[in-house]
Chain A
Amino acid sequence: MGGLPYSPEELRARLDRAFNPRAVAVVGDKRANGYLWLNSMRTFQGPVYSVQIDPQEAAAIAAMGFANYASLRELPGPVDYVVCAVPRQVAPRIVADCAETGATAVALFTSGFAETEQEEGVRLQREIGDIARRSGLLLIGPNCMGIYSPAAGVRHSAEQEVYDDGRVAFISQSGTHCINFSLVGYLHGVRCSKTVSVGNCELLDIPDYLDYFLHDPATEVIAMYVEGPRDGRRFFQVLQEAARRKPVVVWKGGVTEPGARAVYSHTASLATAPQVWRAAMRQAGAIEADSLEETIDVVKALLYARPTTGRRMGLIAMTGGQSVVITDAFAREGLEVPRLSQRSYDRLASFFNIIGGSYRNPLDAGGTVAMGFAVDNVRRLLEVLDDDQNVDAIAFEVGTGFLVRRIRQDPALAESLADALARFRDGSAKALVTVVHPGHAEDVSAQIRARFVERGLPVFATFQQAARALRKAIDYWRFRQELE
């Protein structure tokens, strides 16, 4: 662990080269993997070299249109990022080739190392680590999926999108969670600047990546899935430094005792008492999340709701029942649901339909909005809350049930609703979150969500999710405010 001959600046520069490579090589991709790696690299604009000695595989790879070579030493030019998918016995030789040909970084998809807790695996991991340490080669993993760098077109799944406006970095001790974060996140408007699946962290450890993303101008928010960092104190120190400058969302795996046992057999990480972990996160100023969904939710709130330190909510729901439970959901998170100002009540009284509705806060807008789905009244309600000094943030329930038939008949309604909310968001200084329940018509809710996501609106599937994500974002902005 550790021991690279680089200053922090040099390490960052080298990582940046690995995330923005000039050329890429894939060693040992094969049919049994569905040529996962070469297919994933099809979006890379620079040269992609294949290294494969099996004649049948080599022929198939050539037929796919990739230049194949027998060794990394035979490549026509230097590569900055190598993915290595060879069996573990061969791994030391490939890593040595990477070192000798001056590759910047290698990610070892190969598994069967320290995570097996067997002598052979531990020895081999040490061996490849030593080769990398001696030569200054950046070793990612082993037992990992390596890098996803959408702007560079470097992927670790052929399902992933490429784009150049990602703002969220993700670090993961699980390849699955790393890929899912990018795929599910994309659906919710969370675009990645860069992600990395870190595996066993023989050489590069979580704090190295964290430090790089902290200094990466494209990255505004950092999230991670962690089971146990190799060097906990360094992790804590870098986390503390990072969270003071960018929001860091930490999803910890293995917080229960049976979960901690599962962690041990996954990444062999030592168990910290859940209470101590929680305290460490709070002390560092990190934001905790308990699942992929919550991680994405919190990131959405951080990216797409205006930063606020106020806890007073203005709530809009579409029925009496929903206005009760939306209030419970936000109050349960410790947020306030105050009475509005008299001026607001006077304004509401001028157009609010109190038959099938009420407007104390929460606003039950059934009669005013939902019954005819009057988008213009959505705007008027939001404006009243925006002008009210008692309100810091607004939650809006879309009332999917009222929209199913209407949107199936007239999809443009989803557009005009999204436009109204986006226009309001653009002109308001207050945080706005929206809730679109999947309900009984997931196709319609998906349609509405897609229109909202296109406009950068934070949309949540339940009141609880919206409330929790917003509360965590508020806690974070308060933490930042206290630092100043």
Chain B
Amino acid sequence: MSIADVIERARAQGRRVLTEVESKQVLAEAGIPVVPARLATTAQEAAAAARELGFPVVLKVVSPDIVHKTDVGGVRLGLASAEEVAQAFQDIVDSARRHVPQARIEGVSVQPQARPGVEVILGMSKDPQFGPVLMFGLGGILVEVLKDVSFRIVPIAPRDAREMVREIKAFPVLEGYRGQPPADLEALERMLLRLSDFAQAHPEVEELDLNPVFAYPDGAVAVDARVLLG
């Protein structure tokens, strides 16, 4: 499905939030590397998708009504066999129903478990004066508590992407410390530039979160993503 199709379908259903599966479809279409996610509506479908993607896999609940998936027991990691996947599917759906009885549950997303990397966050939001603004920071506590993030107004130039990555205080973490290999900074810059293009081409997108993105010595990939329409 094209970006426009995905957005149109969400709109038709009266939704502003795209599911993780939809968000990743849209971003992949825009040339942003994502961990592919498949929607499974039954335990059998989930097991089949896992076999195709290769083990281990991660399962996450897909529901427009559930934002914090972990809080409702909606995420399972490191599933290594078809049996574990089928069981996890059932557990996730049951747990989500118990926590949020009125939630519309579309199913469960199945995706390969990404190898660990340095966690970073990329985002886009709308400023009342400047319009779309990109954000970059290191994952977790650094963004949430220390607000160690950089911003630029869309559209950005390569120079801006370079500065965004380098001006956060935690930049030395990306350069590699205590013998860790440096993260692929160019891959992060490329992602920022593609996000900028995407935000410019799609003014209907109000907010965008790629959280986390795993940065590797060779490349970077969005592990989770959320697109909010205006």
Q: Which residues of A contact B (CB under 8 A)?
A: 228-229, 232-233, 235-236, 269-273, 275-276, 279-280, 282-283, 482
The answer to whether A270 and B130 touch (CB under 8 A), given A279-B150, A282-B163, is no
CB contact between B153 and one of A229, A270, A275, A283 (< 8 Å): that residue? A283
Q: Which residue of A lies closest to B129 (CB)?
A: A232
Are A272 and B150 touching (Cβ within 8 A)?
A: no
Q: Is A229 touching B160 in the complex (CB atoms < 8 A)? A: no
- Pairwise interchain contact B159-A482, C-beta atoms closer than 8 A: yes
Minimum Cβ distance to chain A for residue B130 (Å):
5
Chain A nearest CB from B216 CB (Å) reads 27
- Is there contact, CB below 8 Å, between B130 and A233? yes
Q: What separation, in Å, do the CA atoms of A384 and B158 have in the docked complex? A: 42
Given contacts A276-B133, A279-B151, contact A271 B159 (CB under 8 A): no
- CB neighbours (8 Å) of B130 from chain A are 232-233, 236, 272, 276, 280
Hey, which chain A residues are within 8 Å of B129, CB to CB?
228-229, 232-233, 235, 269-270, 272
15 new A-B contacts at CB < 8 Å, known A276-B133, A279-B133: A228-B129, A232-B127, A233-B129, A233-B130, A235-B129, A270-B128, A273-B127, A275-B147, A275-B149, A275-B151, A276-B153, A279-B152, A279-B153, A280-B153, A282-B163
Between A and B, 28 residue pairs with Cβ closer than 8 Å are A228-B129, A232-B128, A232-B129, A233-B129, A233-B130, A233-B131, A235-B129, A236-B130, A269-B129, A270-B128, A271-B128, A272-B128, A272-B130, A273-B127, A275-B151, A276-B127, A276-B133, A276-B153, A279-B133, A279-B150, A279-B153, A280-B151, A280-B152, A283-B152, A283-B153, A283-B156, A283-B160, A482-B159
Complex A-B, nearest 5 residue pairs according to Cβ-Cβ distance, in ascending order: A232-B129, A279-B151, A270-B128, A272-B129, A232-B130
Residues of B within 8 A of A229 (CB): 129
| Chain B residues within 8 Å of A273, by CB | 127
Cβ-Cβ contact count across A and B, 8 Å cutoff: 45
Chain A nearest CB, measured from B91 CB (Å): 41
A369 to chain B, nearest CB (A): 41
A342 vs B156: C-alpha distance in the bound complex, in angstroms? 46
Min Cβ gap B177→A in Å is: 23
Contact residues in A for B153 (Cβ distance below 8 Å): 236, 276, 279-280, 283
Q: Mark B133-153, 1 if CB is under 8 A from A, else 0.
A: 100000000000001011111
* In the complex, chain B residues 41-95 whose Cβ is within 8 Å of any chain A Cβ: none
User: Which residues of chain A are within 8 angstroms of B150 by Cβ–Cβ distance?
Assistant: 279
Which range holds the interface residue count of chain B?
A: 10 to 19
Question: How distant is A422 from chain B, measured CB to nearest CB, in Å?
Answer: 38
A415 CB to nearest chain B CB (Å): 47
With A and B bound together, what is the CA distance between A482 and B147 in angstroms? 29
Closest to A284 in B: B153
Q: Mark B160-178, 1 if CB is under 8 A from A, else 0.
A: 1001000000000000000
| Distance in angstroms between the alpha carbons of A273 and B126 in the assembled complex | 11
Q: Which residues of B contact A (CB under 8 A)?
A: 127-131, 133, 147, 149-153, 156, 159-160, 163
- Determine the distance from Cα of A107 to Cα of B153 in the docked complex, in whole angstroms: 33
Tell me the complex Cα distance, A235–B128, Å.
13
Least CB distance from A394 to B in Å reads 30
Residues of chain B with a CB closer than 8 A to A232's CB: 127-131
What chain A residues lie within 8 Å of B160 (beta carbons)? 283
A226 CB, nearest partner CB in chain B, Å = 11
B170 to chain A, nearest CB (A): 15
Contacts of B147 in A (CB 8 A): 275
A479 to B, closest residue via Cβ = B159
- Establish whether residues A272 and B152, one from each chain, have CB atoms under 8 Å apart when the complex forms: no
In the complex, chain B residues whose CB is within 8 Å of the CB of A482: 159
Contacts of B128 on A, CB cut-off 8 Å?
A: 232, 270-272
With a cutoff of 8 Å between Cβ atoms, the chain A residues found around residue B156 in the complex are 283
Q: How far is the CA of A236 from the CA of B133 in the complex (A)?
A: 12
Closest-by-CB residue of B relative to A240 is B153
Q: Given A283-B156, A283-B160, A276–B151 Cβ distance below 8 Å? A: yes
A283 to B156, CA, bound (A): 8
Q: What is the bound-complex CA distance between A402 and B159, given in angstroms?
A: 49
Q: How far is the CA of A244 from the CA of B134 in the complex (A)?
A: 22
Alpha-carbon separation in the docked complex, A232 to B132 (Å)? 11
With both beta carbons as reference points, the residue of chain B lying nearest to A275 in the complex is identified as B151
B164, closest chain A residue (CB): A279
Q: Give the complex CA separation of A275 and B150 in angstroms.
A: 8
- Cα–Cα distance between A270 and B149 once the two chains are bound (Å): 22
Residue with the highest number of chain A CB atoms closer than 10 Å, among B129, B151, B153, B160: B129
- Nearest A residue to B157 by beta-carbon distance? A283
Q: How far is the CA of A275 from the CA of B167 in the complex (A)?
A: 12
Cα separation A275 to B136 with both chains bound (whole Å): 12
Q: Which residue of A lies closest to B133 (CB)?
A: A276
Q: In the complex, A129→B229 CA distance in Å?
A: 34
Across-interface contacts of B159 in A (CB, < 8 A) = 482
B195 CB to closest chain A CB (Å) equals 15
CA distance A275 to B160 in the complex (A): 15
In the complex, how many angstroms separate the beta carbon of A436 from the nearest chain B beta carbon?
A: 35
A98 to B160, CA, bound (A): 46
Q: Which residues of B contact A269 (CB under 8 A)?
A: 129
Kindly list chain B residues whose C-beta atoms are within 8 Å of the C-beta of A283.
152-153, 156, 160
| Nearest-CB residue, chain B, relative to A482 | B159
- Chain B residues closer than 8 Å to A270, beta-carbon distance: 128-129
Contacts of A272 in B (CB 8 A): 127-130
When distances are taken between beta carbons in the complex, the residues of chain A under 8 Å from B149 are 275
- Most central of A232, A233, A272, A276 by chain B CB within 10 Å: A276
Q: How far is the CB of A44 from chain B (nearest CB, A)?
A: 37
Give A340 to B75 CA distance when docked, in angstroms: 63
Q: How far is B131's CA from A276's CA once the two chains are assembled, in angstroms?
A: 11
Complex-state Cα separation, A232 to B156, whole angstroms: 16
Instruction: Kindly list chain B residues whose C-beta atoms are within 8 Å of the C-beta of A282.
Output: 163
A270 and chain B: residue at smallest CB distance: B128
Taking CB as reference atom, which chain B residue is nearest A237? B153
What residue in chain A is nearest B154 (Cβ atoms)?
A: A233
Question: In the complex, what distance in Å separates the CA atom of A279 from the CA atom of B149?
Answer: 11
CA distance A271 to B129 in the complex (A): 8
**Most chain A beta-carbon neighbours within 10 Å: one of B150, B153, B163:** B153
| Closest chain A CB from B168 CB (angstroms) | 11
Nearest B residue (CB) for A280 = B153
Give the complex CA separation of A270 and B133 in angstroms: 16
CA distance A269 to B128 in the complex (A): 10
